[in-house]
Amino acid sequence: MNESQFIAALQKLALHPGARGLEDDCAVIALGGEHLILTTDMMAEGTHYRPQADMADVAWKLVAVNLSDLASKGAEPIGLLLGHSLGRSDARFLAGLRDVLDAFGVTLLGGDTIAATGASTSCITALGRATHVPVPSRQGAQAGDNLYVTGMLGRAMLGFEGVEEHLPAFNRPVPRLAEGRALAPVVSAMMDISDGLLLDCWRMAQTSGATIQLETTAIPVADPARLDACVRWGDDYELLFTLPPGADLPVAATRIGTVLEQRPAPLIFGETPIHRPDNLGYRHG
């Protein structure tokens, strides 16, 4: 099975209502007067990072990508659960973990360690609390909404390729936690960009029952000569969101498109309708 097929099979199992049909960045569970936000991400050597990578950077990124999911719900982090296979450079992993916890004021709740052979694997489960209800989802984009993105896309790709000024974007991304909290009360839909702008726009359009039209010249990219690569590569961890017409924009962001009534093509890239999600971004399997 590839990733999409496996998730489709999971969607046929018994799901908690808070799972949001496995179509969102996080699970959302109402507990008394609070809403608990849960997400989990894992990273494996050879898939998410090179064997020679500094494990301090790996630890930072593992936490940051989970916090980015919380940011997309406008959540305030509560704490983290860590799963880690002991292996090479565990001391460096711990150093990076300390750095990222200090940087974002997050604490550990517990977890599990194992001794394993083969590629190193680590996992973080992040827990947060909603700062606004209803909690934003990918599903709320409406025809007439404007589409925005924070930051600049393609920096992680260039960092992976060794462009020095963009190395931090790949090794130690910064989750948009403050922006997510500011946006939560006003957005109609929101998610973070992890697998590439085109694929994540496709997902937002599909779950919202709408079509998204992107304005190619408006998209902020680190290398305009490589626009196509910048919007497909992923690992950006910026926020992608929609606002109703006339809504105030409370954070620094760029308008990159419009939400349309649903059409046969969920995504229109410039003037090009895209009917299938193949090769739009990064997918496992």
Whether the Cβ atoms of residue 191 and residue 25 lie closer than 8 Å to each other: yes
Nearest to 143 by CA among 239, 72, 245, 219: 245
Please give the CATH topology (third level) of the domain spanning 146-274.
Phosphoribosyl-aminoimidazole Synthetase; Chain A, domain 2 (3.90.650)
**Domain ranges in the chain?**
3-130, 146-274
Find out whether 270 and 219 touch, Cβ atoms under 8 Å.
no
Topology of the domain covering 3-130: 60s Ribosomal Protein L30; Chain: A; (3.30.1330)
* Backbone angles phi and psi of 205, in degrees to 5: -65, -45
Q: Exposed e or buried b for every residue in 157-183, given b needs 16+ CB within 10 A?
A: bbbbeeeeebbebbbbbbbbbebbbbb
Read off the pLDDT of residues 142-195 as tens digits, 9 standing for 90 and up. Answer: 999 999 999 999 999 999 999 999 999 999 999 999 999 999 999 999 999 999
Are the CB atoms for 39 and 180 separated by under 8 Å? no
- pTM of structure: 0.93
Average pLDDT over residues 85-112: 94
- Top pLDDT among 43 and 21 is at 43
Q: What's the DSSP call for residue 249? A: -
pLDDT band of 283, cuts 50, 70, 90 = low
Question: Which tens digits make up the pLDDT trace of 52-84?
Answer: 899 999 999 999 999 999 999 999 999 999 999
